[in-house]
Structure 1
Amino acid sequence: MDTVRLEPDFDRYDELLALILAAFAYMDGRIDPPSSARALTAESLRQKVSVEIAFAGIERGDLLGCVFLKPEPECLYVGKLAVAPASQRGGIGRHLIGIAEQTARNLSLPALRLQTRIELTENHAIFAAWGFVEAGRSAHPGFTRPTSIEMKKMIVL
């Protein structure tokens, strides 16, 4: 698999959107509120690429995964980590996290940070296996119970 950095002139935003929506579809009906992925469009992804650091995994022309990274003062935020359903459990997500780790090192940021929904216990286990630990819980606006878990992974610089 080749990993490419996405730039605003990337010409496959419709496919990228389809990949993210397919990867996040299993959350439908399981999480409340619904995933912000549902609000994405090809154009909003193009805009996101212009202000964040994004990578895609491509094999034989097929988009297999993606990750969006946003530098913050003390860490690199990992968002919209998505792997095509047919390619899950093949190491692509771990590979993209490795790209995030290297990006954090390049930016001299000591940690990765991500958020996962309370209901998605299988994601908690995967992220823990990749070295992430729970760092806090938060509630979306309008909710009185926690809806998200923040997880962090320290990076050796």
Structure 2
Amino acid sequence: MIEIRPIDASFQRWDALLALILSSFAYMDDIIDPPSSAHRLTLASLAQKAHDEIAYVATDETGKLVGCVFCKPEAATLYVGKLAISPDHQGKGIGRLLLAKAEEVAANAGLRALRLETRIELVANHNTFARWGFVKTAENRHAGFDRTTSIEMQKQLS
């Protein structure tokens, strides 16, 4: 049984959360350029991110952190970032549960779409997000790059 709960002032498992994010993003290390911003996270910056945004964790029946998502309300969309599922729990529907929570956050804020960015090289991620109702809306490049490094995708909510 997976439980989704908000990261609030009582949350103290920053080490486990950072480890979860880094382990779930590790497969990207030899694929994407520039490196993932996950590598710049520290315990303090992660705690600040959770304070500044709306964040949730997923735990399994043993209480182990197995997923997370960070949501940031924008003018017209809810930005979904750091959607991370532990490698040994991927493919079990946890990502969908966390995105459903993001949809709930968006609806409560009166926002009609979710927005995310994924690296251009991560075609499997593009396909997964497309299956979940996201469509490509833009191509972006990181500072200093003369090529597309990421794509933006949105999911319209009813």
Please give the range of the TM-score, normalised by the shorter of the 2 chains.
over 0.9
Matching residue of 2:104:
102
Unmatched runs of 5 consecutive residues or more in structure 1: none
Task: Give the whole-Å Cα distance in 1 for the aligned partners of 2:20 and 2:43.
Answer: 11
Check conservation: 1:8, 1:49, Cα contact below 8 A.
no
Where does 1:4-153 land on structure 2 (aligned, <5 Å)?
4-59=5-60, 60-153=62-155
RMSD value over aligned CA atoms? Answer: 0.6
> Which amino acid in structure 1 is aligned with residue 17 of structure 2?
L
1:18-65 Cα shifts (integer Å, max 9, x gaps)? 000000000001000000000001111110111100000011210010
Structure 2, unaligned stretches of length 5 or more? none
Please give the alpha-carbon distance, in whole angstroms, between the structure 1 residues aligned to 2:132 and 2:65: 23
Provide the rounded CA distance (Å) in 2 between the counterparts of 1:7 and 1:17: 16
Cα distance between partner residues in 1 of 2:58 and 2:134: 22
Q: Is the contact made by 1:16 and 1:63 (CA closer than 8 Å) also made in structure 2?
A: yes
TM-score between both structures, scaled by the size of structure 2: 0.97
For the residue of structure 1 that corresponds to 2:155, the secondary structure is strand
The one-letter code sitting in structure 2 at the alignment partner of 1:23 is: S
- Which secondary structure does the structure 1 equivalent of 2:58 belong to? strand
Contact 1:76 1:111 in 2 (8 A): yes
User: Percent of aligned pairs with the same residue?
Assistant: 54
- Alignment size in residue pairs: 156
The 3-state SS of whatever aligns with 1:114 is strand
The 4+ residue runs of structure 1 with deviation greater than 4 A are none
